[in-house]
Structure 1
Amino acid sequence: MSNFTSATEFLLMGFSDIRELQILYSFLLFLIYSAGLMGNLLIVIITTIDRRLHTPMYFFLRNLSMVDACYLSITAPQASVNSLVNNRVISVTGCAAQVFLVVFMGYVEFILLTIMACDRYVAICHPLHYPVIMSPRVCLQMTLTCLLTGLIYAVFHTSYTFRLSFCQSNLVHQFFCDIPSLLRISCSDTFSNKLSLIVSELIIGTGCYGFITASYIRIFSTVLKFPVKEDQKKAFSTCIPHITVVSLFVISGAYVYSQPSSDSMSFKNIIISVFYTIIPPFLNPIIYSLRNKQIQDAMGILMKRNIFIKK
Structure 2
Amino acid sequence: MVEGVERTQPGGRLVLAGLPIGNLEDAPPRLLHALEGARVIAAEDTRRLRQFASRAGIRLGGESGARVVSYYDANESRRGDELLADLRRGEEVLVVTDAGMPGVSDPGYRLAAACAEEGIPVTSIPGPSAVTTALVVSGLPTDRFCFEGFPPRKGLRPYLEELADERRTMVFFESPHRIAATLQTMAAAFGVERRAAVCRELTKTYEQVRRGGLGELAEWAADGVRGEISVVVEGARPRAETTSDTDLIAAVGELEDEGMRRKEAIVRVAKETGVPKRRVYDLVHGVVEAE
TM-score norm. by structure 1 comes to: 0.20
Which of structures 1 and 2 has the larger relative contact order (alpha carbons within 8 angstroms, sep 6+)?
1
Computing the radius of gyration over CA atoms, which structure comes out larger, 1 or 2?
2
Between structures 1 and 2, the one with greater strand share: 2
Between structures 1 and 2, the one with greater helix share: 1
TM-score norm. by structure 2 comes to: 0.21
